[in-house]
Amino acid sequence: MIIKTNSRLPVFAADSYAEYPVLPLMTGVLFPGMMFTIQIGRPENIEVIKLYQKNKKKFITSYSHAEVETPKDPPIHQVGVFTIVRDVSEGPGGSKIVMLEGLKRVAIKDIISTEPYIIAMACEVQPPHFVSRTIKKKMEQVISVVREITQLDPVYSPELLNIIKMNMEDPSLLADRIASTFHFSLAAKQELLEAINLEFRYERLQYYLSEELNRVATVLSINEKVKKRIEEEQHNAYLRQQLHEIKKQLGEDFTEEKEAARFRNIIKSSPELPSEVVVRAKTEVDRLSQLSTASAEYGVTKLYLEWLLNLPWGKSTTENYNISEVEKVLAEDYYGPDSLKEQILQRLSVRKLMGGKEEGSTLCLVGAPGTGKASLAKAIAKALGKEFIRISVGGIADVADIKGTPRTFLGAYPGRIIRALKEAGTPDPLILIEDIDYFNLDNDSSVNMALLEVIDSRRNSHFLDNYIGIPFDLSKVFFICSVRSPEEIPEQFLPRLEIIDLPSYIEREKITIAKKYIIPNLLKKHGLVKSEFHINDKTLNRIITNYTQESGLLSFSQQIEKIYRKIALEKAERKKKYWTVSVKNLESYLGTPIYIPEKAETMPEIGIAAGLAWTGSGGELMFIEGLKMKGEGQIFTTGSLGDVMKESIQAAHSYVRSKADILGIDFNDFNDFDIHIHFPSGAIPKDGPSAGVTVSLVIASVMSERPIRNDIAMTGEVTLRGRVLSVGGIKEKISAAYRAGIYNIALPKENEKDIKELPKEILRKTKFTFIERVDELFGLCLLDFTPSSYTLEKIFAEEIKKAKRKKKTAKRKAPATAAKSRRKK
């Protein structure tokens, strides 16, 4: 391949072209009148040298763009040089060391052959012989720049200028000599070779010489500054040494010596320091004593020693706590289910038996905001007698935030874990790592692994902070993580975390927590006294239902704070001395209610049933509506439903359709009527299978035209065979029904064990019905549904009889079938 030139070439006659071998040059550009030594290793190029070495015949050399050995022929430039061989010697590995001499410029037209070497049609190119005044001026300018370069840069010989001036009679040869001698890029040299026009060639030559002059001047300026800096530092070092000797003679102390002595005393008085810390600290102290206080390195070294020696190396205490005492503290400081506390006590028992270390998975508290994750961790720290530290990792996207930056970096600092341990002053605190769901949103695996190295008990015994540079033992630190939901935990963390779900609080639990913890704390924070303020349970319940909608206690606590701030203002103005907040005057403190809770229907209706749902803000009562209309047997759904809920509705519809005879429904009605199922609050997305039983009941109601009891709520997943499966969030759902005044609840049989954790007040007042099949719900909830011929007992009895008849028939047919089989054989 030929790389065409951008310069204009003269037009040649057809008979002026001849065939010449071509030698590609990959390491340099050869100019006319110049010598060039290269090493040749390719067989085809060695063949050219052998043929043209003896008879001194000329051939073409052209610069090739190929930067590496290629199996194919390398590309060559259109403009090259007629060349002869001056000398050949043997090189390593069978190669040849060849000295070439350029003669004239040549233009390549076409490549005729590539075997056994490149042969091309080419013609000699001669520059114009006429020399104008402009060319002479440019020659003088070029000589002037060359003089400056040779004076500034010691790389070029002082005699180079005189050698170049010897070619002043031939402008073309002068330009080629300069282009060949100076350190231009190969692309620049090829451009100068292709410049046939002398004026253009001298313009480009002057441009590249100016660039070389700027480079030389810049390098010279930098070298002078470096030399000056070194001389100044040597001078200052000499003066400091003199000053040191003078002060030594006078008996005065240096500041750096005082600091070094202080650090040496810290090292001597700290026997718990590990040996590698002592060695590193002594090295840094010796270095500090040799530095000037004015030096930037002095401050860096001093700061590092402060960090290194103030970390709590080996100061841990023996964990000899009493489990019964820990249980008491947890019961006093945290309000939650006993099963959760028992799980915590089991982990603490293992930790005690292991001497304060454990190699199990790290605890991870999962719960909505305000469900007591931080309170539980704080209670555990108090029970164990440990320092409690909270670290938020939300928004962290860099490994340096966790493991620190190397000391060589400007503004280097340790990671968050080491900083927290220094502030705590102990190597075995309880650290709560919060906001893992907002951690490393870019999902950089290196950042995830850095945090996992901290909390994983299998790895953290030799945790290496990049700033400290010495492994620190984190195995005695009690790490607890917290997150809002398990789905938001990074994938790399799941195998190393033990998930503990913190359930949401129901109204009765919120009132109890408020009276026991929130109100006393807020009274103290707002400068109020308990004897000045009164609020009853009914008012607290109104705040929960009408002003908050959450699983936890954050918004509830904020509403109480609003009340206290208003009371604090009145107290500061001395308007009153005693305040009672009741349901009647609650709006004067908190304004118009934000939420209106659902209430039970006043009378039974066709096509409406009370379902129970669980959301992020707790349990809710959800009325599902349905109606039928003339159509083609389709089913329509509205209310921002998810795919799972739509599939559950379809399954419920199919099951009710299969039981049309039991419900007394004409089977043709399913083809002649459309059914529309609607979930109110259409702006809120809904999903999940737990509305299956409610939808089945609504469809059965609208198709059989029987009303549904208004005093019962239900939840459960339905299968195509009519079985009712267990669902989650039972405690919250029952609380929602109780809050709405519904005291009859239908639950899946498998959820019977989940009602044990409910408050006694709810258990005493609520009647539970546990169902295994949807058919049981029809008889329980549909009014006027007492078909004597289709009772469940009769249905099951008929199905058993059918199965027995089939079994007897199969037994009777078995001998005849066997005899027939034998006859065939």
- Which residues are catalytic, by number? 690, 733
* Beta strands at 608-615 and 712-714: parallel, antiparallel or unpaired: parallel
- The residue written with tokens 């040494």 in the block is 241
CA distance 430 to 390: 9
CA distance 312 to 468: 13
Answer for the pair 219, 155: CB distance below 8 angstroms, yes or no.
Answer: no
Closest Cα to residue 374, out of 477, 481, 508?
Answer: 481
Answer for the pair 100, 30: CB distance below 8 angstroms, yes or no.
Answer: yes
CA distance 569 to 547: 22
Answer for the pair 741, 730: CB distance below 8 angstroms, yes or no.
Answer: no
- Calculate the alpha carbon distances from 244 to 257, 277, 333 in Å: 11, 30, 62
- Calculate the alpha carbon distances from 66 to 43, 71, 190, 448 in Å: 17, 11, 14, 45
Compute how many other C-beta atoms are within 10 angstroms of the C-beta atom of residue 590: 18
Residue burial 164-173, b: 16+ Cβ < 10 Å; e: rest: beebeeebbb
Answer for the pair 479, 427: CB distance below 8 angstroms, yes or no.
Answer: no
CA distance 761 to 742: 14
Q: Which residues contact 444 (CB under 8 A, 6 or more apart)?
A: 397
* Beta strands at 118-125 and 59-63: parallel, antiparallel or unpaired: unpaired
Separation of CA 84 from chain center? 65
Closest Cα to residue 605, out of 786, 783, 787, 785?
Answer: 783
CA distance 17 to 345: 99
Strand, helix or coil for residue 54: coil
Helical (H) or strand (E) element with 540: helix 537-547
CA angle (573 as vertex; 567, 579 as ends), nearest 5:
30
Answer for the pair 81, 45: CB distance below 8 angstroms, yes or no.
Answer: no
CA distance 206 to 589: 86
Closest Cα to residue 479, out of 396, 359, 372?
Answer: 359
- The residue written with tokens 């009562």 in the block is 621
CA distance 220 to 150: 13
CA distance 39 to 45: 10
Look up residue 268 and give its two tokens. 């001597």
Residue 796 CB-half CA count within 13 A: 6
Strand, helix or coil for residue 119: strand
Answer for the pair 100, 180: CB distance below 8 angstroms, yes or no.
Answer: no
Q: 3-state SS of 368-436?
A: CCCCCHHHHHHHHHHHHCCCEEEEECCCCCCHHHHHCCCCCCCCCCCCHHHHHHHHHCCCCCEEEEECH
- The residue written with tokens 């015994």 in the block is 461
Would the CA dihedral through 60, 61, 64, 69 be positive or negative?
positive
Answer for the pair 414, 467: CB distance below 8 angstroms, yes or no.
Answer: yes
DSSP summary character for residue 531? G
CA distance 728 to 379: 28
Look up residue 603 and give its two tokens. 């009378």
Strand, helix or coil for residue 609: strand
- Calculate the alpha carbon distances from 787 to 662, 783, 784 in Å: 8, 11, 9
